[in-house]
Amino acid sequence: MRLLATTNRGFESVSAGEVRELTGAAVTVERPGLIGFDGDEADLTRLHCRARTLNRVLVELTGGAIETPADAYDQVRAVPLAEYVDPDQPIAVRGKRIGEHDFTSMDVAERVGQAIVDDLRAATGERIPVDLDDPEVVFRATVREDRFRLAIDATGETSLHRRPYRVRDHDAPVRPTMAAALCRLAGVDADTAVLDPMCGCGTIPIEAALLAGNRPLAPGREFALTDLRFLDDGALERERAAVEPRELAAPIRGLDIEDRWVTAARENAREAGVADAVAFEAADATTAAVDTEAVIVDMPFGVRTEQEGLGTLYTEFFANLRDAEWDRLVLFTAREDLVPFEPTRRLDVRHGRLEVAVLVVDRDEIDG
Ligand SMILES: C[S@@+](CC[C@H](N)C(=O)[O-])C[C@H]1O[C@@H](n2cnc3c(N)ncnc32)[C@H](O)[C@@H]1O
Protein backbone atom coordinates (compact mmCIF):
# COMPACT_ATOMS: atom_id res chain seq x y z
CA MET A 1 0.00 0.00 0.00
CA ARG A 2 1.03 3.56 -0.50
CA LEU A 3 0.73 5.38 2.81
CA LEU A 4 0.72 9.12 3.43
CA ALA A 5 1.28 10.96 6.69
CA THR A 6 0.62 14.58 7.47
CA THR A 7 3.07 16.40 9.69
CA ASN A 8 3.69 20.00 10.70
CA ARG A 9 5.03 22.13 7.87
CA GLY A 10 8.80 22.32 8.07
CA PHE A 11 9.17 19.15 10.15
CA GLU A 12 8.99 16.72 7.18
CA SER A 13 12.61 15.57 7.60
CA VAL A 14 12.04 14.82 11.31
CA SER A 15 8.83 12.87 10.62
CA ALA A 16 10.48 11.05 7.72
CA GLY A 17 13.21 9.92 10.15
CA GLU A 18 10.60 8.70 12.61
CA VAL A 19 8.67 6.75 9.95
CA ARG A 20 11.92 5.21 8.63
CA GLU A 21 12.85 4.15 12.15
CA LEU A 22 9.43 2.58 12.82
CA THR A 23 8.77 0.92 9.45
CA GLY A 24 12.08 0.71 7.58
CA ALA A 25 10.41 2.39 4.59
CA ALA A 26 12.03 4.85 2.20
CA VAL A 27 10.15 8.12 2.72
CA THR A 28 9.56 10.93 0.23
CA VAL A 29 8.36 14.45 0.91
CA GLU A 30 5.21 14.82 -1.22
CA ARG A 31 4.72 18.52 -0.42
CA PRO A 32 5.18 20.70 2.69
CA GLY A 33 3.45 18.91 5.55
CA LEU A 34 2.96 15.59 3.72
CA ILE A 35 5.25 12.57 3.44
CA GLY A 36 4.68 9.32 1.53
CA PHE A 37 6.04 5.76 1.81
CA ASP A 38 5.17 2.17 0.97
CA GLY A 39 3.85 0.13 3.89
CA ASP A 40 1.54 -2.62 4.99
CA GLU A 41 -1.23 -3.12 7.56
CA ALA A 42 1.29 -3.70 10.35
CA ASP A 43 3.00 -0.38 9.56
CA LEU A 44 -0.31 1.43 9.68
CA THR A 45 -1.03 0.03 13.13
CA ARG A 46 2.53 0.57 14.39
CA LEU A 47 2.54 4.21 13.34
CA HIS A 48 -0.73 4.87 15.17
CA CYS A 49 0.67 3.31 18.34
CA ARG A 50 4.21 4.63 18.26
CA ALA A 51 4.67 7.68 16.02
CA ARG A 52 4.83 10.95 17.91
CA THR A 53 5.40 13.59 15.23
CA LEU A 54 2.62 12.66 12.77
CA ASN A 55 -0.80 14.32 12.69
CA ARG A 56 -2.66 11.85 10.51
CA VAL A 57 -1.94 8.68 8.51
CA LEU A 58 -3.80 7.87 5.29
CA VAL A 59 -3.98 5.09 2.72
CA GLU A 60 -3.56 6.58 -0.74
CA LEU A 61 -5.99 5.08 -3.27
CA THR A 62 -5.45 7.07 -6.42
CA GLY A 63 -4.29 10.38 -7.80
CA GLY A 64 -3.65 12.14 -11.05
CA ALA A 65 -4.20 15.22 -13.17
CA ILE A 66 -7.57 16.94 -12.88
CA GLU A 67 -9.30 19.58 -15.00
CA THR A 68 -12.91 18.95 -13.95
CA PRO A 69 -14.58 16.84 -11.21
CA ALA A 70 -15.38 14.27 -13.93
CA ASP A 71 -11.64 13.42 -14.00
CA ALA A 72 -11.83 12.59 -10.30
CA TYR A 73 -14.86 10.35 -10.98
CA ASP A 74 -12.95 8.38 -13.62
CA GLN A 75 -9.86 7.95 -11.45
CA VAL A 76 -11.92 6.74 -8.46
CA ARG A 77 -13.84 4.24 -10.62
CA ALA A 78 -10.52 2.60 -11.48
CA VAL A 79 -9.85 1.75 -7.78
CA PRO A 80 -11.01 -1.70 -6.50
CA LEU A 81 -12.81 -0.09 -3.54
CA ALA A 82 -14.48 -3.33 -2.40
CA GLU A 83 -11.00 -4.35 -1.15
CA TYR A 84 -11.12 -1.51 1.36
CA VAL A 85 -14.75 -1.05 2.47
CA ASP A 86 -17.81 -3.23 2.99
CA PRO A 87 -21.03 -2.10 1.31
CA ASP A 88 -22.77 -1.77 4.70
CA GLN A 89 -20.21 0.68 6.13
CA PRO A 90 -21.41 4.32 6.21
CA ILE A 91 -18.93 6.54 4.38
CA ALA A 92 -18.23 10.24 4.05
CA VAL A 93 -16.12 12.07 1.50
CA ARG A 94 -14.35 15.19 2.80
CA GLY A 95 -13.32 17.46 -0.06
CA LYS A 96 -10.51 20.02 0.01
CA ARG A 97 -9.35 22.31 -2.79
CA ILE A 98 -6.29 24.52 -2.97
CA GLY A 99 -5.72 26.79 -6.00
CA GLU A 100 -7.86 28.51 -8.63
CA HIS A 101 -10.61 26.35 -10.11
CA ASP A 102 -14.06 26.88 -11.55
CA PHE A 103 -15.50 24.14 -9.32
CA THR A 104 -15.78 23.85 -5.53
CA SER A 105 -14.51 21.27 -3.04
CA MET A 106 -18.18 20.23 -2.61
CA ASP A 107 -18.38 19.48 -6.35
CA VAL A 108 -15.33 17.23 -6.06
CA ALA A 109 -16.66 15.49 -2.93
CA GLU A 110 -20.02 14.89 -4.64
CA ARG A 111 -18.44 13.35 -7.79
CA VAL A 112 -16.06 11.22 -5.74
CA GLY A 113 -18.93 10.05 -3.52
CA GLN A 114 -20.92 9.07 -6.60
CA ALA A 115 -17.93 7.17 -8.01
CA ILE A 116 -17.55 5.24 -4.73
CA VAL A 117 -21.28 4.37 -4.65
CA ASP A 118 -21.22 3.30 -8.34
CA ASP A 119 -18.01 1.30 -7.93
CA LEU A 120 -19.29 -0.66 -4.92
CA ARG A 121 -22.67 -1.24 -6.52
CA ALA A 122 -20.93 -2.67 -9.60
CA ALA A 123 -18.77 -4.92 -7.38
CA THR A 124 -21.34 -6.05 -4.78
CA GLY A 125 -24.81 -5.14 -6.10
CA GLU A 126 -25.41 -3.06 -2.94
CA ARG A 127 -25.66 0.68 -2.33
CA ILE A 128 -23.18 1.86 0.29
CA PRO A 129 -24.75 4.30 2.81
CA VAL A 130 -23.44 7.87 3.01
CA ASP A 131 -23.40 9.44 6.48
CA LEU A 132 -21.61 12.76 6.67
CA ASP A 133 -22.17 13.11 10.43
CA ASP A 134 -21.14 9.71 11.70
CA PRO A 135 -19.21 7.82 9.03
CA GLU A 136 -17.25 4.64 9.63
CA VAL A 137 -14.90 5.25 6.70
CA VAL A 138 -13.74 8.75 5.76
CA PHE A 139 -12.35 9.39 2.28
CA ARG A 140 -10.28 12.52 1.79
CA ALA A 141 -10.52 13.93 -1.74
CA THR A 142 -8.02 16.71 -2.31
CA VAL A 143 -7.44 18.90 -5.32
CA ARG A 144 -4.25 20.90 -5.12
CA GLU A 145 -3.74 23.03 -8.23
CA ASP A 146 -4.06 20.51 -11.10
CA ARG A 147 -3.56 17.32 -9.03
CA PHE A 148 -6.26 15.15 -7.51
CA ARG A 149 -5.67 12.66 -4.71
CA LEU A 150 -8.01 10.24 -2.92
CA ALA A 151 -7.07 8.61 0.37
CA ILE A 152 -8.78 6.77 3.21
CA ASP A 153 -8.18 8.43 6.56
CA ALA A 154 -6.84 5.71 8.86
CA THR A 155 -6.60 8.05 11.86
CA GLY A 156 -10.15 9.38 12.03
CA GLU A 157 -11.60 12.83 12.42
CA THR A 158 -9.40 13.71 15.44
CA SER A 159 -5.79 14.44 14.50
CA LEU A 160 -3.04 12.65 16.45
CA HIS A 161 -1.73 16.02 17.68
CA ARG A 162 -4.78 16.25 19.95
CA ARG A 163 -3.27 14.43 22.89
CA PRO A 164 -5.84 13.52 25.53
CA TYR A 165 -3.44 14.52 28.32
CA ARG A 166 -3.61 18.22 27.53
CA VAL A 167 -6.47 19.08 29.85
CA ARG A 168 -4.99 22.53 30.63
CA ASP A 169 -4.05 24.65 27.63
CA HIS A 170 -1.59 27.54 27.52
CA ASP A 171 -2.49 30.81 25.75
CA ALA A 172 0.23 30.12 23.17
CA PRO A 173 0.88 26.38 23.30
CA VAL A 174 3.09 24.41 20.97
CA ARG A 175 1.47 21.45 19.19
CA PRO A 176 2.41 18.21 20.92
CA THR A 177 3.52 16.71 17.58
CA MET A 178 5.89 19.70 17.15
CA ALA A 179 7.12 19.32 20.73
CA ALA A 180 7.86 15.65 20.00
CA ALA A 181 9.76 16.70 16.86
CA LEU A 182 11.83 19.18 18.92
CA CYS A 183 12.66 16.35 21.34
CA ARG A 184 13.80 14.15 18.45
CA LEU A 185 16.00 16.99 17.17
CA ALA A 186 17.53 17.21 20.65
CA GLY A 187 18.26 13.46 20.51
CA VAL A 188 16.19 12.70 23.64
CA ASP A 189 16.43 9.14 24.94
CA ALA A 190 16.12 7.47 28.34
CA ASP A 191 19.56 8.80 29.42
CA THR A 192 19.07 12.44 28.41
CA ALA A 193 18.64 15.10 31.08
CA VAL A 194 16.18 17.62 29.60
CA LEU A 195 15.22 21.14 30.65
CA ASP A 196 12.52 23.38 29.19
CA PRO A 197 13.14 26.68 30.99
CA MET A 198 9.91 28.34 29.66
CA CYS A 199 7.58 25.38 29.69
CA GLY A 200 4.06 26.89 29.76
CA CYS A 201 1.58 24.05 30.20
CA GLY A 202 4.42 21.52 29.99
CA THR A 203 4.06 20.17 26.44
CA ILE A 204 7.80 19.82 25.73
CA PRO A 205 8.84 18.12 29.02
CA ILE A 206 5.78 15.84 28.84
CA GLU A 207 6.56 14.80 25.24
CA ALA A 208 10.21 14.34 26.26
CA ALA A 209 9.18 12.00 29.09
CA LEU A 210 6.80 10.05 26.84
CA LEU A 211 9.48 9.69 24.16
CA ALA A 212 12.32 8.89 26.55
CA GLY A 213 10.17 6.38 28.46
CA ASN A 214 8.69 4.86 25.28
CA ARG A 215 5.31 5.45 26.85
CA PRO A 216 2.07 5.31 24.87
CA LEU A 217 0.44 8.61 23.90
CA ALA A 218 -3.22 7.67 24.07
CA PRO A 219 -3.55 4.12 25.40
CA GLY A 220 -7.33 3.83 25.03
CA ARG A 221 -7.88 5.87 21.90
CA GLU A 222 -9.79 4.37 18.98
CA PHE A 223 -8.64 5.03 15.42
CA ALA A 224 -10.59 4.84 12.17
CA LEU A 225 -8.27 2.06 11.02
CA THR A 226 -10.01 -0.48 13.25
CA ASP A 227 -13.08 -0.11 10.99
CA LEU A 228 -11.14 -0.76 7.79
CA ARG A 229 -11.93 -4.21 6.48
CA PHE A 230 -8.43 -4.98 5.27
CA LEU A 231 -7.01 -4.75 8.80
CA ASP A 232 -7.29 -7.78 11.01
CA ASP A 233 -9.24 -7.51 14.28
CA GLY A 234 -7.04 -7.15 17.31
CA ALA A 235 -3.98 -5.81 15.42
CA LEU A 236 -4.12 -2.53 17.35
CA GLU A 237 -4.32 -4.27 20.76
CA ARG A 238 -1.43 -6.56 19.86
CA GLU A 239 0.73 -3.63 18.78
CA ARG A 240 -0.16 -1.71 21.94
CA ALA A 241 0.71 -4.67 24.13
CA ALA A 242 4.11 -4.93 22.42
CA VAL A 243 5.18 -1.39 23.38
CA GLU A 244 7.61 -1.73 26.28
CA PRO A 245 8.05 1.32 28.52
CA ARG A 246 11.63 2.15 29.61
CA GLU A 247 12.85 3.50 32.95
CA LEU A 248 14.25 7.02 32.72
CA ALA A 249 17.83 7.39 33.87
CA ALA A 250 18.00 11.21 33.83
CA PRO A 251 15.82 14.09 35.06
CA ILE A 252 13.31 15.93 32.89
CA ARG A 253 12.37 19.39 34.16
CA GLY A 254 10.21 22.34 33.23
CA LEU A 255 10.36 25.93 34.57
CA ASP A 256 8.01 28.83 34.06
CA ILE A 257 7.97 32.27 35.60
CA GLU A 258 4.20 32.09 36.16
CA ASP A 259 2.79 29.84 38.88
CA ARG A 260 -0.43 29.20 36.96
CA TRP A 261 1.48 27.50 34.14
CA VAL A 262 3.47 25.37 36.56
CA THR A 263 0.16 24.19 38.05
CA ALA A 264 -1.24 23.51 34.57
CA ALA A 265 1.90 21.60 33.53
CA ARG A 266 1.72 19.38 36.63
CA GLU A 267 -1.91 18.58 35.91
CA ASN A 268 -1.17 17.71 32.26
CA ALA A 269 1.76 15.52 33.34
CA ARG A 270 -0.54 13.61 35.70
CA GLU A 271 -3.01 13.05 32.84
CA ALA A 272 -0.16 11.86 30.60
CA GLY A 273 0.95 9.36 33.25
CA VAL A 274 4.43 10.94 33.55
CA ALA A 275 4.05 12.89 36.82
CA ASP A 276 6.71 10.59 38.31
CA ALA A 277 9.17 11.40 35.52
CA VAL A 278 8.93 15.20 35.14
CA ALA A 279 9.44 17.96 37.72
CA PHE A 280 7.99 21.46 37.25
CA GLU A 281 8.97 24.55 39.24
CA ALA A 282 8.29 28.29 39.17
CA ALA A 283 11.57 30.02 38.24
CA ASP A 284 13.01 32.80 36.11
CA ALA A 285 14.88 31.34 33.14
CA THR A 286 17.17 34.38 32.95
CA THR A 287 18.74 33.57 36.33
CA ALA A 288 17.93 29.87 36.97
CA ALA A 289 20.83 27.46 37.39
CA VAL A 290 21.06 25.34 34.23
CA ASP A 291 22.89 22.02 34.34
CA THR A 292 21.48 19.55 31.83
CA GLU A 293 22.23 17.85 28.53
CA ALA A 294 19.39 19.14 26.38
CA VAL A 295 17.70 22.52 26.65
CA ILE A 296 14.53 22.56 24.56
CA VAL A 297 12.54 25.77 24.58
CA ASP A 298 9.61 27.43 22.84
CA MET A 299 10.36 31.08 23.58
CA PRO A 300 7.80 33.89 23.83
CA PHE A 301 7.31 35.38 20.37
CA GLY A 302 6.33 38.90 21.31
CA VAL A 303 2.80 38.57 19.99
CA ARG A 304 1.56 39.24 23.51
CA THR A 305 4.83 40.34 25.15
CA GLU A 306 5.90 43.95 24.72
CA GLN A 307 8.67 44.04 22.06
CA GLU A 308 11.18 45.96 24.21
CA GLY A 309 10.73 43.53 27.10
CA LEU A 310 11.21 40.70 24.67
CA GLY A 311 14.67 42.00 23.63
CA THR A 312 15.74 42.13 27.29
CA LEU A 313 14.34 38.65 27.95
CA TYR A 314 16.29 37.17 25.02
CA THR A 315 19.53 39.00 25.99
CA GLU A 316 19.36 37.90 29.63
CA PHE A 317 18.26 34.35 28.84
CA PHE A 318 21.12 33.74 26.40
CA ALA A 319 23.64 35.41 28.75
CA ASN A 320 22.53 32.93 31.44
CA LEU A 321 22.81 30.01 28.98
CA ARG A 322 26.29 31.07 27.84
CA ASP A 323 27.60 30.50 31.38
CA ALA A 324 25.59 27.32 32.00
CA GLU A 325 26.15 23.59 31.50
CA TRP A 326 24.39 22.00 28.51
CA ASP A 327 25.31 20.06 25.36
CA ARG A 328 22.51 20.79 22.92
CA LEU A 329 19.94 23.56 22.66
CA VAL A 330 16.81 23.29 20.50
CA LEU A 331 15.02 26.60 20.14
CA PHE A 332 11.61 27.28 18.68
CA THR A 333 11.39 31.00 18.02
CA ALA A 334 9.90 33.62 15.72
CA ARG A 335 12.73 36.01 16.76
CA GLU A 336 15.80 34.35 15.30
CA ASP A 337 17.30 37.86 14.98
CA LEU A 338 17.57 38.01 18.79
CA VAL A 339 19.48 34.70 19.10
CA PRO A 340 23.26 35.18 19.54
CA PHE A 341 24.27 31.54 18.87
CA GLU A 342 25.16 30.08 15.45
CA PRO A 343 22.95 27.02 14.84
CA THR A 344 24.34 23.73 13.51
CA ARG A 345 20.93 23.01 11.98
CA ARG A 346 17.88 25.12 11.27
CA LEU A 347 14.37 24.42 10.02
CA ASP A 348 11.79 26.91 8.77
CA VAL A 349 8.48 25.82 10.18
CA ARG A 350 4.91 27.05 10.31
CA HIS A 351 3.20 27.70 13.65
CA GLY A 352 -0.38 28.72 12.95
CA ARG A 353 0.05 31.79 10.76
CA LEU A 354 3.58 32.52 11.97
CA GLU A 355 6.83 31.60 10.24
CA VAL A 356 9.06 30.23 12.97
CA ALA A 357 12.65 28.96 13.06
CA VAL A 358 13.82 25.85 14.81
CA LEU A 359 17.50 26.23 15.69
CA VAL A 360 19.66 23.38 16.90
CA VAL A 361 22.77 24.70 18.65
CA ASP A 362 25.59 22.38 19.73
CA ARG A 363 27.62 23.62 22.68
CA ASP A 364 30.89 22.33 21.15
CA GLU A 365 30.31 24.44 18.06
CA ILE A 366 29.74 27.74 19.90
CA ASP A 367 32.61 27.15 22.33
CA GLY A 368 35.01 25.92 19.70
C1 LIG B 1 5.50 30.36 24.20
S2 LIG B 1 5.15 30.02 25.88
C3 LIG B 1 5.54 28.32 26.05
C4 LIG B 1 4.38 27.46 25.73
C5 LIG B 1 4.64 25.99 25.94
N6 LIG B 1 5.60 25.45 25.00
C7 LIG B 1 3.34 25.19 25.93
O8 LIG B 1 3.14 24.35 25.04
O9 LIG B 1 2.50 25.44 26.77
C10 LIG B 1 6.46 30.82 26.70
C11 LIG B 1 6.41 30.73 28.23
O12 LIG B 1 7.56 31.41 28.74
C13 LIG B 1 7.23 31.89 30.02
N14 LIG B 1 8.25 32.91 30.39
C15 LIG B 1 8.38 34.17 29.95
N16 LIG B 1 9.44 34.76 30.54
C17 LIG B 1 10.01 33.82 31.34
C18 LIG B 1 11.15 33.81 32.19
N19 LIG B 1 11.93 34.88 32.35
N20 LIG B 1 11.43 32.66 32.85
C21 LIG B 1 10.65 31.56 32.73
N22 LIG B 1 9.56 31.54 31.94
C23 LIG B 1 9.24 32.64 31.25
C24 LIG B 1 5.83 32.43 29.85
O25 LIG B 1 5.16 32.50 31.11
C26 LIG B 1 5.21 31.40 28.90
O27 LIG B 1 4.48 30.45 29.63
- Whole-number pLDDT of residue 236: 87
Paired residues of 360 in beta bridges = 330, 345
CATH number of the structural domain 176-215+247-367? 3.40.50.150
pLDDT digits (tens, 9 = 90+) for 127-156: 999 999 999 999 999 999 999 999 999 999
pLDDT digits (tens, 9 = 90+) for 98-122: 999 999 999 999 999 999 999 999 9
Provide CB contacts within 8 A for 27, sequence distance 6+.
Answer: 16, 19, 20, 35, 36, 37
For the residues 271-276, what does the mean pLDDT come to? 96
Q: Which residue has the higher pLDDT, 309 or 321?
A: 321
Mean pLDDT of the chain: 94
Q: How far apart are CA 194 and CA 192, in angstroms?
A: 6
Residue 81: which of 71, 93, 69 has the closest Cα? 93
Q: How far is the CA of 318 from the centre of ligand 1 (A)?
A: 15
Per DSSP, 165 falls in state T
Q: How far is the CA of 331 from the centre of ligand 1 (A)?
A: 13
Same fold, 2-153 and 176-215+247-367: no
Task: Identify the band that residue 262 occupies on the pLDDT scale cut at 50, 70 and 90.
Answer: very high
Paired residues of 147 in beta bridges = 65, 144
Which runs of E-coded beta strand occur in the chain? 2-6, 28-31, 34-38, 56-65, 91-98, 137-144, 147-153, 194-196, 252-256, 278-282, 294-298, 328-333, 345-351, 354-362
Ligand 1 residue neighbourhood (C-beta within 6 Å): 170, 172-174, 197-201, 203-204, 255-258, 261, 284-286, 298, 300, 313
- Whole-number pLDDT of residue 1: 93
pLDDT digits (tens, 9 = 90+) for 207-240: 999 999 999 888 888 899 888 877 777 888 888 8
Question: Is the confidence at residue 304, as pLDDT, over 90?
Answer: no
- CA atoms lying within 13 Å on the CB side of residue 165: 30
Report which ligand 1 atom has the smallest distance to the Cα of 255. Answer: 21
Report which ligand 1 atom has the smallest distance to the Cα of 170. Answer: 9
The residue whose C-alpha atom lies closest to atom 10 belonging to ligand 1 is 300
- Whole-number pLDDT of residue 308: 66
Report which ligand 1 atom has the smallest distance to the Cα of 204. Answer: 6
Q: How far apart are CA 242 and CA 95, in angstroms?
A: 36
Task: Identify the band that residue 25 occupies on the pLDDT scale cut at 50, 70 and 90.
Answer: very high
Architecture of 2-153 per CATH? 2-Layer Sandwich (3.30)
Q: Where are the domains of the chain?
A: 2-153, 176-215+247-367
Q: How far is the CA of 198 from the centre of ligand 1 (A)?
A: 4
